[in-house]
């Protein structure tokens, strides 16, 4: 063997083996299990074809979790990126003070979703939560609510706390992206008599397209994987009103012990992820002639 | 001193709905990408105030946890979590340290995070270097397969991995968390490192080889030192991600001896038997490492996030 081939094997071998053992092979195994009636408690495992999938699509809980996850991803890829871009545009100042303020604003991204869950539970508390207190102060007592216990508001309440964090993530990326836009682009547009709005719409946002691709892909992935926050805030309740697909997979696996069914749901989630995130990446690549 | 008109004008400009012609003209000369030098001192001051106010409101949840952790539990019980407070104390921290398994949780978190960060980054650098500089046949296929790991939801892996670790008697040890985080991280680290090594000229490698170094020495003595910025970026990214994880300790541990700080925090969360002040103190303890690292190295973190997809 040539030394170069040997070295290639040495460099690639250990990390690729790790990846294969923990990610690649288990992913294939999940596909296989999704066609069986495997049970975590043991017992004979039978090949059941597409039964798990047809059952999944007929099960109201699975359908509801798909709906919740898609809704979450839709809101997630619209609201935090838009707000994040807006805030980033307003915060482009480079004074010392602005820089310090910006670093402080980054803190929500550094903290765990478990911590986010905790503080927002306190904000939404029915009796002395911050939200109800503020509503009371400004004379809107009748809007006060048990936000996380009310079936009609729980999902949106959890989403707001999530958007609070993801907006900062989008903002950070857009701030970095804005800093890379050459000043000449904007100057040229100004010389041509473009209004500020036109400059943003026609120059800044198109130039930011690669950053937007990263933001959307990242937030879509985060949305589709959303487990930690929901599980810590509501556990999927009230009455499974906030049960996202990842929470349902966890429940199916560890409460109902059904590996086959859990695998099938997780594979559906995988496929949805491929389509949505792949779509964003494809959209991002289409615009690359601009480079 | 920021005057009222200044403050109003500035906020109108910021919201982008300045209606007067003067305001619009000022905007168009505006601050889009220019430095602060072109603004009048008055506007800068009022902008500063508006910015500080905005940041303050946005960080109310963070400040709430911080303040609650410093209040006496008697006061929280009497006046609620969100009441502004006069007398602050560190009692909750001492309390939590004595009564909750905090030191064990922290040690476990460190024992999971540090090896997983190191393995995922070194592994990613090895893959990235091999693909970028040794260019084996099928390099792009290998890259594609490893990159596709980004799309695999953790829930897909839970079922098979749980069986795998149970068969090897690893449930309720730190190993599942270390192994999974190390492997999951490879997708992003190998992408960033490959992009990085792609930009380093081949001549550097050949020169070192001519001088009698072997590939291993080129990698360790020449390439890794050059890659320090990329490695730092990935370290911050991975540290934040792994330290904050809650799913894997939830799934792969069954006793307190092997649980991480985020699991510990979750287990007391929303429990009425654990005083709110103590919960808050625990949340602050759990967040200090990532917040500190993030504030110190935030530039690296941002670069880490952007690096992969933009160049890739």
ipTM for this model: 0.89
How much is the mean pLDDT over chain B? 81
Is residue A252, in this structure, part of any structural domain at all?
yes
CA-nearest of B62, B53, B292 to A123 is B62
Give the closest residue to A177 by CA, choosing from B262, B307, B287, B62.
B307
Residue B25 in tokens: 């003209």
Q: Give CA–CA dist A279/A249, Å, rounded.
A: 24
A46 located within any domain: no
Position A170 scores a pLDDT of 92
DSSP H helices in chain B: 4-15, 21-29, 41-58, 60-69, 73-79, 91-99, 102-129, 139-147, 154-167, 175-198, 202-210, 215-217, 224-226, 228-243, 247-252, 261-268, 276-311
> In total, how many domains does chain A have?
1
Whether pLDDT at B97 is above 80: yes
The helix/strand/coil state of A36 is: strand
Q: What distance in Å separates the CA atoms of residue B23 and residue B17, rounded to the nearest whole number?
A: 9
Whether residue B304 has pLDDT greater than 90: no
Q: Is residue A246 part of a domain?
A: yes
- Over 90: is that where the pLDDT of A267 sits? yes
The arrangement of secondary structure in B96-311, i.e. its CATH architecture, is Orthogonal Bundle (1.10)
| Residue A182: predicted pLDDT | 78
Helix (H) or strand (E) holding A63: helix A60-90
Give dist(CA B246, CA B266) in Å, integer.
8
Helices (H) and strands (E) in chain A, counts: 16, 0
The pLDDT of residue B31 is 43
Where is pLDDT greater, at A277 or A45? A277
**pLDDT for B138-151, tens place per residue?**
888 999 999 889 89
The answer to whether the CB atoms of B287 and A22 lie below 8 A apart is no
Give the pLDDT of residue B262.
93
Compute the nearest-CA separation of B258 from chain A (Å).
Answer: 18
Q: Which range has the worst mean pLDDT, A36-40, B180-184, B253-257?
A: A36-40
Whether A171 is covered by a domain: the verdict is: yes
Q: Assess whether pLDDT exceeds 60 at residue A247.
A: yes
Residue of B35, B134, B145 lying closest to A24 (CB–CB): B145
Residue A176 lies in a domain: yes
Residue among A274, A263, A289, A256 at smallest CA distance from A33: A263
User: Please, where are the H alpha helices in B148-275?
Assistant: 154-167, 175-198, 202-210, 215-217, 224-226, 228-243, 247-252, 261-268
Q: What is the pLDDT of residue B42?
A: 67
pLDDT at site A288: 55
Find, among A46, A41, A50, A227, the residue nearest to B162 by Cα: A41
Q: Mind giving me the DSSP string for A146-203?
A: -TTTSTTTHHHHHHHHHHHHHHHHHHHHHHHHHHTS-HHHHHHHHHTT--HHHIIIII
Question: Looking at residue A287, what is its pLDDT?
Answer: 63
A222 inside domain: yes
Report pLDDT for B177.
95
Report the CATH number that the domain containing residue A247 is assigned in CATH. 1.10.3720.10
Q: Report CB contact under 8 Å: B262, A112.
A: yes
pTM: 0.86
Average pLDDT over residues B178-192: 93
B227-232 average pLDDT score = 86
pLDDT given for residue A28 in this prediction: 94
The answer to whether position A224 is within a domain reads: yes
CA angle B252/B160/A74 to nearest 5° reads 85
pLDDT at position B308, please?
52
> In this model, does residue B269 exceed pLDDT 60?
yes
The pLDDT assigned to B114 comes to 96
Rounded to a whole number of angstroms, the distance from the CA of B274 to the nearest CA of chain A is 13
For B279, which of A118, A225, A284 is closest by C-beta distance?
Answer: A118
Kindly report the nearest CA distance between residue A136 and chain B, in angstroms. Answer: 14
- Most B CBs within 10 A among A10, A19, A66, hence the mutation to make, goes to A19
Q: Distance from CA of residue B1 to its chain's centroid?
A: 38
- Of the candidates B32, B134, B265, the beta carbon closest to that of A11 is on B134
- Whether A24 is covered by a domain: the verdict is no
Over range A19-48, report the average pLDDT: 86
Chain B: residue whose CA lies nearest to A245: B155
In a mutagenesis test of the A interface, which of B160, B260, B294, B303 is the best target, namely the one with the most A β-carbons within 10 Å? B160
Partners of residue A186 in chain B, C-beta under 8 Å: 32-33
Q: What is the pLDDT of residue A93?
A: 66
Residue B18 has pLDDT above 70, yes or no: no
Q: What is the mean pLDDT of residues A38-43?
A: 74
Mutate to test the interface with A, among B60, B151, B294 (most CBs of A within 10 A): B151
CA-CA distance, B64 to B81, in Å (whole number)?
Answer: 8
B126 contacts A11? CB cut-off 8 A? yes
Q: Which residue has the higher pLDDT, B311 or B282?
A: B282
Per domain, the residue ranges of chain B are 4-26+37-94, 96-311
Which tokens belong to B222? 């020449």
What is the distance between the alpha carbons of residues A77 and A217, in angstroms, rounded to a whole number? 8
Minimal CA separation from A180 to chain B, in Å: 10
Looking at residue A80, what is its pLDDT? 93
By the CB < 8 Å criterion, does B175 face chain A? Answer: no
Sorted by sequence, the CB contacts under 8 Å of residue B12 that are 6+ apart come out as B18, B19, B23
- Is pLDDT of A94 > 70? no
Most confident of the ranges A211-215, B102-106, B115-119, B236-240: B115-119
Rounded to whole angstroms, how far apart are CA atoms A252 and A262?
A: 5
Q: How confident is the model over B20-49, as pLDDT tens digits?
A: 334 333 333 334 444 444 556 666 677 778
Would you call B182 exposed, middle or buried from its count of C-beta atoms within 10 A (0-12, 13-18, 19+)?
buried
Most confident of A19-28, A99-108, A282-291, B60-69: A19-28
Instruction: Write the residue in B64, B123, B302 that is nearest to A122 by C-beta.
Output: B64
pLDDT at residue B7 greater than cutoff 60: no
pLDDT in tens, A149-198: 888 889 999 999 999 999 999 998 888 888 878 778 878 888 888 887 88
**Longest C-alpha distance within chain B, in Å?**
76
């Amino acid at each position: 063997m040539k030394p170069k081939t040997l070295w290639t094997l040495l460099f690639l071998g250990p990390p690729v083996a790790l990846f294969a053992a923990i990610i690649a092979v288990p992913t294939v195994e999940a596909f296989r299990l999704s066609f069986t009636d495997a049970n975590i408690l043991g017992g004979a495992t039978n090949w059941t074809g597409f039964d798990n999938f047809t059952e999944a699509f007929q099960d109201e809980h699975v359908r509801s979790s798909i709906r919740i996850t898609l809704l979450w991803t839709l809101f997630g890829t619209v609201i935090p990126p838009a707000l994040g871009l807006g805030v980033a545009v307003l915060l482009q100042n480079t004074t010392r003070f602005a820089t310090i303020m910006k670093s402080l604003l980054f803190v929500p991204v550094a903290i765990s979703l478990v911590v986010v869950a905790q503080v927002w539970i306190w904000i939404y508390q029915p009796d002395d939560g911050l939200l109800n207190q503020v509503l009371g102060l400004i004379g809107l007592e009748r809007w006060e609510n048990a936000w996380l216990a009310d079936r009609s508001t729980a999902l949106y309440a959890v989403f707001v706390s999530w958007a609070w964090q993801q907006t900062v993530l989008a903002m950070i990326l857009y701030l970095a992206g804005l800093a890379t836009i050459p000043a000449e682009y904007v100057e040229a547009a100004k010389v041509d008599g473009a209004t500020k709005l036109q400059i943003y719409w026609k120059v800044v946002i198109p130039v930011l397209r690669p950053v937007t691709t990263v933001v959307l892909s990242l937030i879509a992935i985060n949305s589709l994987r959303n487990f930690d926050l929901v599980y810590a805030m509501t556990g999927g309740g009230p009455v499974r009103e906030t049960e996202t697909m990842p929470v349902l997979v966890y429940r199916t696996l560890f409460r109902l012990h059904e590996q086959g069914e859990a695998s099938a749901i997780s594979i559906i989630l995988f496929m949805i992820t491929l389509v949505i995130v792949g779509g964003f990446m494809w959209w991002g690549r289409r615009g690359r002639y601009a480079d | 001193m920021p005057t009222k008109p200044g403050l109003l004008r500035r906020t109108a400009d910021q919201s982008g709905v300045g209606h007067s012609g003067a305001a619009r003209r000022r905007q168009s000369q505006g601050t889009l990408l220019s430095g602060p030098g072109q603004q009048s001192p008055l506007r800068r001051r009022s902008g500063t105030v508006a910015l500080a106010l905005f940041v303050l409101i946005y960080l109310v949840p963070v400040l709430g946890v911080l303040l609650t952790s410093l209040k006496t539990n008697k006061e929280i019980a009497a006046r609620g979590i969100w009441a502004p407070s006069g007398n602050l104390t560190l009692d909750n921290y001492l309390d939590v340290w004595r009564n909750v398994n905090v030191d064990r949780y922290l040690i476990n978190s460190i024992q999971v995070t540090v090896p997983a960060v190191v393995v995922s980054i070194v592994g990613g650098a090895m893959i990235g270097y091999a693909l970028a500089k040794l260019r084996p046949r099928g390099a792009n296929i290998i890259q594609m397969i490893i990159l596709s790991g980004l799309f695999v939801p953790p829930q897909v892996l839970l079922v098979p991995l749980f069986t795998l670790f149970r068969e090897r008697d690893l449930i309720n040890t730190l190993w599942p968390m270390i192994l999974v985080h190390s492997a999951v991280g490879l997708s992003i680290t190998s992408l960033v490192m490959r992009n990085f090594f792609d930009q380093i000229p081949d001549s550097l490698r050949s020169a070192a080889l001519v001088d009698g170094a072997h590939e291993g020495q080129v990698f360790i003595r020449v390439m890794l030192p050059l890659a320090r910025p990329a490695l730092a970026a990935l370290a911050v990214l991975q540290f934040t991600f792994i330290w904050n994880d809650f799913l894997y300790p939830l799934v792969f541990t069954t006793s307190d001896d092997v649980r991480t700080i985020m699991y510990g925090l979750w287990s007391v969360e929303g429990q009425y038997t654990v005083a709110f002040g103590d919960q808050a103190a625990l949340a602050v303890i759990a967040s200090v490492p990532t917040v500190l690292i993030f504030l110190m190295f935030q530039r690296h973190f941002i670069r880490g996030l952007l690096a992969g997809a933009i160049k890739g």
